[in-house]
Amino acid sequence: MEMLLLWIGRLAGLVGVVACLIAIGARLGGAFWIAGFQVGTLLQAGIAAMVLGCLAHLVVLTLRSAGGG
């Protein structure tokens, strides 16, 4: 379970960073829409993915510190 949470955290974090970078780049380029989505929506989705990644890593850290891993 610990390894699964680690990989979920890594993948979610990576997807979140990429989504945020795309949203920021598009907005700096003057675009308001990407593939039918507003740039702000893409940015929020990226932030949510990074939060999911952080929470998954936090669970792993708490399991390790409690000796439950």
The answer to whether residues 7 and 60 touch, using CB atoms and an 8 Å cutoff, is: no
Determine phi and psi for 24, rounding to 5 degrees.
Answer: -65, -45
Dihedral of CA 18/57/6/44: which sign?
negative
The answer to whether residues 46 and 18 touch, using CB atoms and an 8 Å cutoff, is: yes
Q: Is the pTM of this model over 0.95?
A: no
Residue 66, pLDDT score? 83
Residue 34, pLDDT score? 93
Residue 69, pLDDT score? 55
Residue 24, pLDDT score? 97
- Spell out, as residue ranges, where the chain has pLDDT lower than 70: 68-69
